[in-house]
Amino acid sequence: MSVDQAAPAASDVEDGAGGPGGELQQPHLPEDRFADRELSWLRFNERVLELAEDPDIPLLERVRYLAIFASNLDEFFMVRVAGLKRRIATGMAVTAASGLTPRQVLEQISVTAHELTARHARVFTDVVQPALQAEGITLVHFDALSDSEKERLHKYFRRMIFPVLTPLAVDPAHPFPYISGLSLNLGVIVRNPATGKEHFARVKVPPLLPRFIAVDARGKPRSPDDVTAEMATESSFVPIEDVIASFLDYLFPGMDVVEHHVFRVTRNEDLEVEEDDAENLLKALEKELLRRRFGPPVRLELAAGFTPKLREMLVRELSIGEQDVYELPPPLDLTGLNVIADLDRAELSFPRFVPTTNRDLAEVESANPTDIFAAIRARDVLLHHPYDSFSTSVQQFLEQAAADPRVLAIKQTLYRTSGDSPIVDALIDAAEAGKQVLAIVEIKARFDEQANIEWARKLEQAGVHVVYGIVGLKTHCKLSLVVRQETDGLRRYCHIGTGNYNPKTARLYEDHGLLTCHPDVGQDLTRLFNQLSGYAPKSKFHRLLVAPRSIRTGLIERIEREIEHHRAGKDAWIKMKMNSVVDEATIDALYRASQAGVPIDVVVRGICAIKAGVPGLSENIRVRSILGRFLEHSRIYAFANDGDPDVFIGSADLMHRNLDRRVEVLVKVVEPDHVAELVGLIDASVAPTTASWHLEHDPGGDQVWRRVHRDADGQPLADLQSLLMSAHRRPTAAGR
């Protein structure tokens, strides 16, 4: 069972690509032509931090960007830094395409991460926190409360916090305790007054209690039961570790509390699952999730003021290097700032945006609100979320399919979805109605594995045929296939997307999707689902490029074709939009196109290993990055093709994992107005009138990201996402 797992080597692709041009002398490509992916990721997170620093962005949104920066960095250490350390420890370290050894990368990560975390803390402490206070939103220390407020918090502590706490002592009878990853902890030194001897103890802050305890005008703390209900009206917060620290004598009666400090540990939480036996994949993953909790430490965060003796003990007991210690002003773990960002203060947040029903669906909806199939029969529908509503498009498509007695079968890939997903509910309803339902579930979706295991079992119990994909490959493509009995025979309705089937993230992630009943696409998806659930390794496709077989080769062939068109004086250009671009073979093809004179636009949200604007290499490559209120997530690959643009959308970024180790799909978009819309989106993204980050080659030879959000007169440039929201607020057909 395979989707052609033998990925082409970079040399194979380069030697044979380009057809007639393949025998031409290949231009010289310097050895230092790739930026390091890990360091590029840190620069992406720096761009997130720059949004938090921007005074023109609403205050609570800046708070949210601070939380996003912290959460991003947590995952970076848990996965990327942990992976580098593991490869070094096992002797599997190899020099990266950038020319840096893993040790050199780790050294540069440490320097850059220390700089960014210190800057992150300063932005919160010196800029955002005072601005919040000016708006009546305060994050206060326990010592700053009034006596009456302290007394009320005292009662709250005894009733709601104290029973949950577990102090763990360290002495000959009690070894140093296991410190779970990302947990907030108090390191406490206590002294026995009878002997004068000091001891260390660790107190874990319970992760299920509120990170910040909100206090109302009377100083009354909220209980965990009404944490969400009252959040909208609360504006004064105390860090829970502050409250615990103020009442440590309850945990150590008869002892003197000498000192206490807050610390946090990050551990290796990447997955390593042997997949030789697909039958046992589910059990193997469950076992690995348990092991993950005990991965080695990769980062130690200390609240400023740690005494040298206590710091030395933690470093020794956790077996962590000094370069992995981050001493920061309190409070640690600013991921908890989402609690404050969620406050109901409309004047401090982005204006509310309500997605609208896609125009093509709305026109049919006004005549028959339940017949989404009629709209798809009328023409292909190109969706753009979150501007186009997910609930009135993809969700309605699957819910209507589940309820329609003429629908015979539904086939679906699921990578990430919400726990209470209406998509899962629709599949269950369809199975219970007797329809043939297949769900290709990717239970190895990073950090969503446990949730995916749970609803995979729920699907199985309802009679859905659940398949866990192909051994050795993650199923990352976003596909739905509905087979419907109609008067003229069976018709296949398809959805191919760039984002997950998750109604919650669909309101925050920018993604595209294609709804179509074109026979070629229906046949392609039928063949692909047969590959995923059965044995069909030699399938061929009409409008799909499928990884690991044909996405890299298909894109490189089209890049080489643009080179030939440019040499022949024909219309030639390349425009791409993706989350990350790392794949060396594809980047080299882009470099060759640039050297040949082909103009290239790349819009990338995150990692970018391309070096832009390098003389003799990439003068014709323009790289931009757009970050904002929505997470840019769609992937578009467009080629001029001598005036007949060749445009694809799909799930694949230009990364090794996408092109070699995942089942990914790109679908060709054929409707002229859809092609124009997708090409126009990239053009608008790189336009000089649009705010973005520019990747530039500085005189010293380095690549730098420069934020360009004002014109020469200091006036704000257009925000792309705001323009798209305005366009989708336009008056449309009745009934929307």
- Range 285-298 average pLDDT: 59
Q: Flag whether pLDDT at 395 surpasses 50.
A: yes
* Mean pLDDT for the chain overall: 86
pLDDT on residue 20: 36
How sure is the predictor about 173, in pLDDT bands with cuts at 50, 70 and 90? low
> In this structure, what token pair is assigned to residue 87?
């490869």
Spatial separation of the C-alpha atoms in residues 642 and 102, rounded to whole Å: 43
What's the distance, CA 99 to chain centroid? 27
How sure is the predictor about 582, in pLDDT bands with cuts at 50, 70 and 90? very high
pLDDT on residue 365: 55
pLDDT on residue 733: 39
Spatial separation of the C-alpha atoms in residues 598 and 580, rounded to whole Å: 21
Q: Flag whether pLDDT at 204 surpasses 90.
A: yes
Reference 639, options 550, 544, 549, 566; nearest CA is: 566
> In this structure, what token pair is assigned to residue 337?
């700032």
What's the distance, CA 306 to chain centroid? 34
Which range has the worst mean pLDDT, 254-258, 290-294, 544-548, 697-701?
290-294
Reference 456, options 503, 421, 409, 484; nearest CA is: 421
Reference 404, options 375, 376, 433, 381; nearest CA is: 433
Alpha helices (runs of H) in 404-518, residue ranges in sequence order: 422-432, 449-461
Which range has the worst mean pLDDT, 256-260, 285-289, 347-351?
285-289
Distances (CA, A) of 167 to 154, 187, 194, 446, 602: 18, 10, 21, 32, 53
Spatial separation of the C-alpha atoms in residues 541 and 271, rounded to whole Å: 33
Q: Which residues contact 555 (CB under 8 A, 6 or more apart)?
A: 545, 586, 589, 637, 654
> In this structure, what token pair is assigned to residue 552?
């890299």
Contact assessment for residue 443 and residue 413, using Cβ atoms and an 8 Å cutoff: no
Q: Flag whether pLDDT at 176 surpasses 80.
A: no
Contact assessment for residue 353 and residue 326, using Cβ atoms and an 8 Å cutoff: no
Spatial separation of the C-alpha atoms in residues 154 and 246, rounded to whole Å: 9
What's the distance, CA 728 to chain centroid? 25
What are the counts of helices (DSSP H) followed by strands (DSSP E) for the chain?
A: 22, 27
Spatial separation of the C-alpha atoms in residues 303 and 242, rounded to whole Å: 12
Backbone φ and ψ of 368, nearest 5°: -145, 95
pLDDT on residue 335: 94
Contact assessment for residue 400 and residue 428, using Cβ atoms and an 8 Å cutoff: no
Which of the residues 120, 476, 512, 518 is marked catalytic? 476
- Residue 89's Cβ-count burial label (10 Å; 0-12, 13-18, 19+) is exposed
Which range has the worst mean pLDDT, 303-307, 365-369, 512-516?
365-369
Between 422 and 373, name the one with better pLDDT: 373
Say how many C-beta atoms besides its own lie within 10 A of residue 293's C-beta: 11
Which range has the worst mean pLDDT, 348-352, 527-531, 715-719?
527-531
- Residue 644's Cβ-count burial label (10 Å; 0-12, 13-18, 19+) is exposed
Q: Which residues contact 287 (CB under 8 A, 6 or more apart)?
A: none
pLDDT tens-digit series, residues 39-94 = 999 999 999 999 999 999 999 999 999 999 999 999 999 889 988 888 888 787 78
pTM: 0.88
Q: Which residues contact 181 (CB under 8 A, 6 or more apart)?
A: 78, 265, 266, 267, 269, 293, 295
pLDDT on residue 362: 86
- Domains in the chain, start-ordered, CATH in brackets? 141-348 (3.30.1840.10), 359-539 (3.30.870.10), 546-728 (3.30.870.10)
Amino acid at 365: E
pLDDT tens-digit series, residues 691-728 = 999 999 988 778 999 999 999 999 999 999 999 999 98
pLDDT on residue 216: 63
Q: What percent of the chain has pLDDT over 90?
A: 64
Q: Flag whether pLDDT at 212 surpasses 60.
A: yes
Say how many C-beta atoms besides its own lie within 10 A of residue 460's C-beta: 15
pLDDT on residue 690: 97
pLDDT on residue 419: 56
668 pairs with which residues across the strands?
A: 648
Which range has the worst mean pLDDT, 515-524, 528-537, 668-677?
528-537
> Is 495 tagged catalytic?
no
pLDDT on residue 19: 36
Reported for 221-228, long-range contacts at CB under 8 A and 24+ positions apart, including other chains, are 221/152, 221/153, 221/156, 221/160, 223/156, 223/160, 224/160
Q: Flag whether pLDDT at 217 surpasses 70.
A: no
Q: Flag whether pLDDT at 15 surpasses 50.
A: no
Q: Flag whether pLDDT at 231 surpasses 70.
A: no
Contact assessment for residue 432 and residue 403, using Cβ atoms and an 8 Å cutoff: no
Coil, helix or strand at residue 10: helix
pLDDT tens-digit series, residues 114-142 = 999 999 999 999 999 999 999 999 999 99
pLDDT tens-digit series, residues 637-648 = 999 999 999 999
How sure is the predictor about 266, in pLDDT bands with cuts at 50, 70 and 90? very high
Spatial separation of the C-alpha atoms in residues 30 and 617, rounded to whole Å: 8
Q: Which residues contact 195 (CB under 8 A, 6 or more apart)?
A: none
- Range 433-447 average pLDDT: 77
Q: Which residues contact 512 (CB under 8 A, 6 or more apart)?
A: 382, 383, 384, 385, 497, 498, 499, 634, 636, 649, 678
